[in-house]
Amino acid sequence: MKNITKVFLAALLAVSFLFGLNSCSKKETGPIKIGVLLPLTGSKANFGEMEKNSFELAKAEINKAGGIDGRALEFVYEDDTGKPEVGRAGAEKLITVNKVPLITGGYSSSVTFAAAAVAQQYRVPFLVNTGSVDKITEPEAFNLTPKDGDKFYIYRLNPPVSEYASGLESLLQEVVKPKSVYIIHENTAFGTKGASSFKKSAEKLGIEVKGVQSYTEGTVDFKPLLLNAWKTKPDMFYMISYVMDAALIMKQARELNIKPKLFVGAGAGYTMPAFKENAGPAAEGVLSATLWHQSLPIKGAKEYFDNYVKKYGGDGPDYHGAEAYSAAYVVANVLKRCKGDYTPETIKKALDKTDMMTVFGPVKFVSYGKKIHQNKMKTYVVQWINGELKLVWPKNLANAKFEYPINWDKLWK
């Protein structure tokens, strides 16, 4: 009986070993799924569509080149509809239902911050590519300290909104030299923080701030606000708006014959192709801060722009598309350095060591001030000239001459 038992146990061990060997040697071959949170419907769908197209364009290129160690990269999209509560639920679904080890995307600041809180709670890395309110990469906003890098799971590829106007400042200081400004902004986290930051910049440059006025996103009649601002006779208007509001502000300024020396946007809606389409002639001459332009001497920037136009048509992407496209390549780079271990902790460690070039520019997550895991970048200035968005500053990188002073009567005729 003992001999029979020994033989049975030996056979059982042999079978177990073989099954174990087979399971250990079995290699995962399915796609690696990464979550993407974007506004695919609602008032910000223009931005979401451009970013999704860019993610898909990058994904196709990455997979064609072999994917991630032979496995395909797959993006699982959640539509946040531009609402924080929907974005929060979308992030939770990606983590708990789709089981993604990493989330990217994040467009509007309020939605991104809400989703970031969920990612932080579940200890899943979130690579933000557009949401720009400063607190997104400030651990204190999540009840941590700047020293808690090992506990902080939020990373951001794009600059914070407080740094959007850094490139514009030198243009104002060296060329325009305005004496006064009136600031108009939407009353979101992005708009409020952007207005506060530019007010400080203006005061630093000796530019008198004639007023700061907020409005509710989706406002239809901007005429009372514009007339009230124009009474102060500022040299320039500085405006922080998403695309449909941006177009309406400029159309109504033209109707009211309001003509300061400059109209300047803070990125966001003022660089989108939809701004020109909806504002019509009123878009001409408008300046904007921007984070990217296809004419910059960055390897692959023009190629990405041209490939996007070839596949999706239209006037091509602005910096929002470049952010998404580059985020996809950062994701691929990070996953390749994980050596097959695609867990949130391993991905976080790989994100910490990221140091690469993308079509958006260099990406390396650093700490400064209250921020950690923040990519630091230069910003630029663009202007709508003859229906095209041209890079006009800095002068050594410009692909068009800055048109100034501006003859509004001629442009708006």
Residue 120 has pLDDT above 90, yes or no: yes
Please return the burial class of 30, using the count of CB atoms within 10 Å of its CB with bins 0-12, 13-18 and 19+: exposed
Helix axes 301-312, 319-336, angle to 10 degrees: 110
Tokens in use for 121?
């709670």
Task: Please give the Cα distance from 128 to 383 (Å, whole number).
Answer: 27
> What is the rounded average pLDDT of the residues 104-111?
97
Helix axes 319-336, 45-64, angle to 10 degrees: 40
**Mean pLDDT value across the chain:** 93
Residue 18 has pLDDT above 50, yes or no: no
> Which has more confidence, 11 or 369?
369
Cis? peptide before 405, omega within 30° of 0? yes
Task: Please give the Cα distance from 279 to 231 (Å, whole number).
Answer: 23
Task: Count up the domains in the chain and report the number.
Answer: 2
Q: Is residue 3 part of a domain?
A: no
Q: Which residues contact 314 (CB under 8 A, 6 or more apart)?
A: 273
Query: Domain check: are 155 and 137 in the same one?
Result: yes
Residue 98 has pLDDT above 60, yes or no: yes
Q: Is residue 371 part of a domain?
A: yes
Q: What sign has the CA pseudo-torsion 148, 150, 152, 157?
A: positive
Given this model, what pLDDT does residue 178 score? Answer: 97
3-state SS assignment for residue 211: strand
The C-alpha angle 53, 55, 56, rounded to 5 degrees, equals 65
Comparing CA positions, the residue from 253, 173, 264 lying closest to residue 221 is 253
Given this model, what pLDDT does residue 218 score? Answer: 85
Query: Domain check: are 303 and 324 in the same one?
Result: yes
> Which has more confidence, 115 or 14?
115
Query: Domain check: are 204 and 243 in the same one?
Result: yes
Comparing CA positions, the residue from 78, 154, 158 lying closest to residue 120 is 154
| Least confident piece of the model among 20-29, 221-230, 305-314, 322-331 | 20-29
- In one-letter notation, the amino acid at residue 47 is F
pTM to 2 decimal places: 0.90
Query: Domain check: are 276 and 192 in the same one?
Result: yes
Tokens in use for 28?
């995962």
> What is the rounded average pLDDT of the residues 291-318?
97
Q: Is residue 18 part of a domain?
A: no
> What is the rounded average pLDDT of the residues 100-121?
98
Q: Is residue 126 part of a domain?
A: yes
Given this model, what pLDDT does residue 24 score? Answer: 35
Given this model, what pLDDT does residue 27 score? Answer: 63
The C-alpha angle 273, 404, 265, rounded to 5 degrees, equals 40
- Domain of 202, in residue numbers: 163-290+380-411
Residue 29 has pLDDT above 50, yes or no: yes
Task: Please give the Cα distance from 309 to 295 (Å, whole number).
Answer: 15
Please return the burial class of 219, using the count of CB atoms within 10 Å of its CB with bins 0-12, 13-18 and 19+: middle
354: number of Cβ within 10 Å: 18
Task: Give the H or E element holding residue 184.
Answer: strand 180-186
pLDDT tens digit sequence for 198-209: 999 999 999 999
Q: Is residue 45 part of a domain?
A: yes
> What is the rounded average pLDDT of the residues 102-127?
98
Query: Domain check: are 44 and 148 in the same one?
Result: yes
Query: Domain check: are 87 and 213 in the same one?
Result: no
Query: Domain check: are 50 and 172 in the same one?
Result: no
Q: Which domain CATH number covers 107?
A: 3.40.50.2300
> Where do the DSSP E strands lie in 80-143?
103-105, 126-128
Rounded percentage of the chain residues whose pLDDT exceeds 70: 93
Q: Is residue 85 part of a domain?
A: yes
The per-residue b/e assignment along 169-189, b for 16 or more CB within 10 angstroms, e otherwise, is bebbeeebebebbbbbbbebb
Query: Domain check: are 170 and 280 in the same one?
Result: yes
Q: Is residue 325 part of a domain?
A: yes
Residue 116 has pLDDT above 80, yes or no: yes
- Distance of alpha carbon 38 from the chain centroid: 10
Residue 21 has pLDDT above 60, yes or no: no
Residue 267 pLDDT grade (very low, low, confident, very high; cuts 50, 70, 90):
confident
Comparing CA positions, the residue from 285, 251, 261 lying closest to residue 385 is 285
3-state SS assignment for residue 173: helix
Residue 13 has pLDDT above 70, yes or no: no
Query: Domain check: are 261 and 400 in the same one?
Result: yes
Given this model, what pLDDT does residue 5 score? Answer: 45
Place of tokens 């921020």: 371
Strand partners, 71: 68
pLDDT tens digit sequence for 147-193: 999 999 999 999 999 999 999 999 999 999 999 999 999 999 899 99
Q: Is residue 20 part of a domain?
A: no
Given this model, what pLDDT does residue 2 score? Answer: 46
Query: Domain check: are 206 and 339 in the same one?
Result: no
Query: Domain check: are 228 and 185 in the same one?
Result: yes
Tokens in use for 41?
């419907």
Query: Domain check: are 141 and 126 in the same one?
Result: yes
- In one-letter notation, the amino acid at residue 254 is R
Tokens in use for 191?
């708009």
Task: Please give the Cα distance from 294 to 315 (Å, whole number).
Answer: 12
Strand order in the sheet with 380-385: 208-215, 180-186, 236-240, 262-265, 287-290, 380-385, 388-393
Torsion-angle region of residue 235: left (phi > 0), alpha (psi -120 to 50) or beta?
alpha
pLDDT tens digit sequence for 284-300: 999 999 999 999 999 99
